[in-house]
Amino acid sequence: MLSGGIGKMDDLFNSVILSADGNDIDNAYNYAKKVYESYGVNAEEVLKKMEDIKVSIHCWQGDDVTGFEKGVEGLSGGGIMATGNYPGRARNGDELRQDIKKALSLVPGKHKVNLHAIYAETENNIYADRDEIDVSHFAKWIEWAKKEGIGLDFNPTFFSHKMADSGFTLSSKDNNVRSFWIRHAKKCREIASEIGRQLGTPCVNNIWIPDGMKDLPADRLSYRLILRDSLDDIFSEKYNESYIKDSVESKLFGIGSESYVVGSHEFYMGYALSRNVMLCLDTGHFHPTESIADKISSLLTFQNKLLLHISRGVRWDSDHVALLNDEVLSIAQEVKRADSFDKVYFALDFFDASINRITAWVIGARAVLKAIMFALLEPTELIKEQELKGNFGNRLALMEEVKTLPFSAVWDKYCNLNKIPHGAEWLRDVKVYEEEVLLKRIGVVK
Ligand code: RNT
Ligand code: ZN
């Protein structure tokens, strides 16, 4: 169960996992550089571009979306679910920051950390309800982010709360419920804007609500009209866009909201475009065979901003750890081909409690960065030229050849330049951390 738990496997793991040294990496990189050069791609420039790429690392992978509120019973609402019980979950802000810092130390580049309102830290643990939180409850996060030299993003939390038990929040017909969540959302925008101001880098504030119905609704329209009005009320306060970037996230269905989700894709696309609010596309929030890659250029035709939640649905919106798969690769390729890395915000959104949580973060973050680097190394101009000439055979052949270019040599070089373990070597760091920190949290001392 634990990494290194099985004796024989562990021996093999220890003997083979050490990867190439610096010289090997340089030699391989020099060869790769030549190969990419022959396709008209400058690998040095790609390494430079990678320095500006930021992925927002979600804090909620570290504690299975539990948060720090006292007296609230675990994750509930909207069908989001973390399964598994791997030992060593972070139980408070200090532990969570310690774990995220460890994960970040195994991911090349400077990134952001994505918070949720339930990660507020109140004085003496005195409970502050969702409509009572303010920026002071995030002072430790801000101070930490300053120290680490990273930005923060934010999310109001519309689930795991008694006021969400009816299945409705911002689209509720109960004015008491609806106004409670409007107050919460307003507080969160205030907090996010202040975070962005203090850190000197915009804070993306993303609204996702669980509202929907298990079975066939008799009236789909009225809830959507209410949601529209609630959002208009929430966004009526204008903040400086260099402090806060507002976004709204749709969903197809959830467990318990199979028949109807108020905040559907069409609803939020209409809302975002008519109100100039950013749209968030989550890879798990569409039909399981539907890719969000093709949606990117359509949205960029009408807006200069887009938030992506990178997740991996297995048969349903299961929020498995993101991998370097066709979906993530084609997303990165679409952003590259549209030359839009300055317009598209990449954020991770998965929660797996069945494996080491640091491992989960690192796999997902490295996978997204690999996909982005792979896309940046694509000879896009060359391929586009063949398309323009109408030579679709060449276009297809080039796309296929690109798959086996020596990408990994450039990736290893990038890790090396950032003083981050390349290959699978980072698993050793996680193993040590598990023994020295995570297991001690549950009283296991080796
Ligand atoms: C839920 C949405 C949402 C959440 C986070 C925790 O289906 O994807 O983004 O995962 O807010
Ligand atoms: Zn999401």
pTM value is 0.96
Least confident of 64-73, 251-260, 378-387: 64-73
Q: Write down the mean pLDDT value for the chain.
A: 95
Pocket of ligand 1 (CB under 6 A): 60, 65, 80, 155, 208, 249, 251, 282, 309, 349
Q: How far is the CA of 114 from the centre of ligand 2 (A)?
A: 11
- Position 13 scores a pLDDT of 78
Q: Relative to the CA of 157, which ligand 1 atom is closest?
A: 11
User: Which ligand ends up closest to the CA of 308?
Assistant: 2
Q: Catalytic annotation on 21?
A: no
Q: d(Cα 78, Cα 65) in Å, to the nearest integer?
A: 13
pLDDT band per the 50, 70, 90 thresholds, residue 85: very high
Query: Is 319 designated active site?
Result: yes
Return the ligand 1 atom nearest residue 311 CA. Answer: 8
Three-class DSSP category at 116: coil
197 alpha carbon to ligand 2 midpoint, in Å? 25
Q: Which of 57, 66, 75, 80 to mutate to test the pocket of ligand 1 (most atoms within 8 A of CB)?
A: 80
Q: Coil, strand, or helix at residue 345?
A: strand
Span 67-95, average pLDDT:
89
Compute, in angstroms, the gap from residue 304 CA to the centroid of ligand 2.
Answer: 20
Which pLDDT score is estimated for 19?
A: 67
Tokens describing residue 115: 């918070």
Residue whose CA is at the smallest distance from ligand 1 atom 3: 208
pLDDT digits (tens, 9 = 90+) for 24-58: 999 999 999 999 999 999 999 999 999 999 999 99
Nearest-ligand number for the alpha carbon of 282: 2
The per-residue pLDDT for range 341-362, each reduced to its tens digit, is 999 999 999 999 999 999 999 9
> One of 63, 69, 153, 282 is an active-site residue; which one?
282
- At 87-112, the pLDDT tens digits run 999 999 999 999 999 999 999 999 99
CA of 285 to the centre of ligand 1 (A): 9
Q: Which ligand is nearest to the CA of 63?
A: 1
Pairing of strands 244-249, 278-282: parallel
Tell me: pLDDT of 289 over 70: yes
b/e per residue 284-295 (b: at least 16 CB within 10 A) = bbbeeeeebbeb
Q: Whose CA is nearest to atom 10 of ligand 1?
A: 349
Predicted confidence (pLDDT) per residue in 388-402, tens digit: 999 999 999 999 999
Atom of ligand 1 nearest to the CA of 351: 10
Active site residue 211: no
Q: Over 60: is that where the pLDDT of 7 sits?
A: no
pLDDT at 5: 47
Answer whether residue 292 shows pLDDT above 80: yes
Per-residue confidence (pLDDT) for residue 219, from 0 to 100: 98
Q: Whose CA is nearest to atom 9 of ligand 1?
A: 208
Range scoring the smallest mean pLDDT among 16-25, 182-191, 269-278, 415-424: 16-25
Please, what's the b/e burial string for 31-68 (b: 16 or more CB within 10 A of its CB; e: otherwise)? ebbeebeebebebeebbeebeebbbbbbbbbbbbbbbb
Q: Given this model, what pLDDT does residue 342 score?
A: 98
Catalytic residue among 349, 352, 412, 434: 349
* Model confidence pLDDT, tens digit, residues 199-218: 999 999 999 999 999 999 99
Confidence at residue 22, expressed as pLDDT on a 0 to 100 scale: 78
Nearest CA to ligand 1 atom 5: 349
What is the CA(247)–ligand 1 centre distance, in A? 13
Cα 412 → chain centroid:
23
CA 309 to centroid of ligand 2, rounded, Å? 5
Distance 27 CA to ligand 1 centre (A): 43
pLDDT at residue 6 in the model: 45
Say yes or no to pLDDT of 1 above 70.
Answer: no
CB-CB neighbours of 384 under 10 Å: 12
- pLDDT tens, residue by residue, 133-191: 999 999 999 999 999 999 999 999 999 999 999 999 999 999 999 999 999 999 999 99
| Residue 283: pLDDT over 80 | yes
Provide DSSP, 179-199. Answer: HHHHHHHHHHHHHHHHHHHHH
How large is the C-alpha radius of gyration of the chain? 22
User: Rounded CA gap, 189 and 280, in Å?
Assistant: 16
Task: Kindly give, in sequence order, each residue whose CB lies less than 8 Å from that of residue 327, ignoring residues fewer than 6 positions away.
Answer: 283, 291, 292, 293, 312
Is 285 known to be catalytic? yes
Q: What is the pLDDT of residue 267?
A: 99
376: left (phi over 0), alpha (psi -120 to 50) or beta: alpha
- Lowest-pLDDT range of 6-15, 95-104, 173-182, 259-268: 6-15
Told to judge if 208 belongs to the known catalytic residues of this protein, a careful annotator would answer yes
- Catalytic residue chosen out of the listed positions 60, 144, 181, 208: 208
Strand intervals (E) in 302-430: 306-310, 312-314, 316-320, 344-348
pLDDT at 3 over 90: no
317, 327, 412, 434: which one is catalytic? 317
Q: Reply yes or no on whether 317 is catalytic.
A: yes
Q: For this structure, is 45 an active site residue?
A: no
- Which ligand is closest to the CA of 116, given by its number? 1
